[in-house]
Amino acid sequence: MTKLVQAKCPECGARLKVDPQAAEAKCEYCGSVSPIQVGKKRVVRANPQAPPPAPAIYVPSQRSTWMIYLMSFGLPLLIGGIVLINALRTSGQLSGDGLSGTLSSLAGEKLQWVGYSQPMLLDLNGDQIADPIGRVRLFNLSSSDHTEHVAAFDAVSGKQLWRTEQISDISQSSDSRVALVGNTLLIADPLGMLRGYLPATGQKTWQAVIGERVARMCGAGQGFARVETKDKRALTIALTTGKLTPAGKADPKSPCVGAWSTEKDGSTMGTQKLQRFPFGREPMPKVNGLYADYVLKDTGSGTTVAVGYRTPGTQIPTAAAYTAIKDDGKKGRRGATHSRNISATVHWVTNIPAVNPLTVDEGTPKTGTLGMGRVLFAYEMKNSDAGWRVTCLDAATGRNLWDVAVPKSDTGDVSSIVVSNRQVFVSIWTWLHVFDLATGKFRMTIGTW
């Protein structure tokens, strides 16, 4: 069946559908009959003795038709695609795979940051800037399948540096554990298998059978890690070989040091979060005007910050820095001192939000960190459409350095804040937002919705 093409009547200008293989065509509007000329128009010298020929209907050849379609539709799509890719790369939405990642997303696959976990930081490419390593999820749009992996990203460009094989599916992700101990990345899957990887390349170097799900992983001296299982066993593992040695019973309340985990309330290399009983053994300090819920400790500088809310009055999120605790009370049955008998040498007390504090959700902000001479908190606005904000305080003086809105934060809660020597990483929903440490300027987003 011959495909009809669009043409114009040379007499009245009406749009016609003509058969390019026919000799002539009749206009259904003015009735004129015109020959059909396919291909390029030929310039013919007029013969003064011959009558003027009937005006012809020019029909482009099939090749010309495809060129017209290409110029009309293909070129704008190509340009639009280039503009889209550049926009995603500039905004940070291009989640690490460059062009291949964008094409896979267009094909129905999305890379999402697992927002309930925190990133682990390590300089992977020698540029003196710590790069984030953390949990990601591949979401297949056509099948709605989720697979969870661990991936590393360049802290400046957001480009994905490497990604592991699947470690679990979405239904079992809470039973997997990820930690960075020394120069070894440890991943424990829900089936009781523990694997060691090189953080710089993501290459797997060994695997060991634990035989039980892992509760947490901590440092255990040079070249070793301590693995505690959910049946309360403890194992020591050699980081270079994966050799396991029984280490007695686990003590879940003991500090987990020397490791960086992806758990949102887990350890980092420089900050400890100690919570009120029964979640921790550290008694709360007594600070006038502050009801403290937890304490942040910088293991490097010794700085300690109590976090809670103002009292009396409106429960505005409040923080106080101190360096000493004086025990002037009685001991309890287990040797712990009651919080009412603890006093502290306080250096500063301040409201956490830099905006109008009465527009902020009352109570203790649940997410905070301490490091690089800074104290950072995430707090939520009372107006849910306004979402969350992150504030940065000087650890020495309590002075507010910056306070910024978290992009796309009306969809979920900020679960963790991690700070490097240059940047601030904020985990929320399916994104990892990156800010400049000095100014709070938004840099990029890793992950998509």
- pLDDT tens-digit profile of 416-428? 999 999 999 999 9
342 and 352 Cβ atoms separated by less than 8 Å: no
Q: Residue 76 has what pLDDT?
A: 61
Q: How far apart are CA 140 and CA 145, in angstroms?
A: 5
pLDDT for 336 equals: 45
Alpha-carbon distance of 46 to 242, in angstroms, equals 92
Beta strand pairing call for 374-380 and 367-371: antiparallel
Q: Where in the chain is the domain with CATH 2.40.10.480?
A: 270-405
Q: Residues near 254 by Cβ (< 8 Å), separated by ≥ 6? A: none
| Per-residue pLDDT, 102 | 47
Per-residue pLDDT at 151: 97
pLDDT reported for residue 48: 47
CATH topology of domain 270-405: Thrombin, subunit H (2.40.10)
Q: Please list the rounded mean pLDDT of every run of 10 residues in the chain (449 residues).
A: 71 69 72 69 47 56 51 58 52 41 60 93 95 93 85 97 90 91 96 96 97 94 96 97 96 85 74 61 77 86 89 96 65 47 80 97 94 94 94 97 96 92 95 98 95
In contact, 348 and 398? CB cutoff 8 Å? yes
Distance in angstroms (rounded) separating the CA atoms of residues 180 and 260:
5
Tokens of 141: 């749009």
Residue 137: per-residue pLDDT: 94
Q: What is the Cα–Cα distance from 60 to 80, expressed in whole angstroms?
A: 27
The pLDDT of residue 95 is: 42
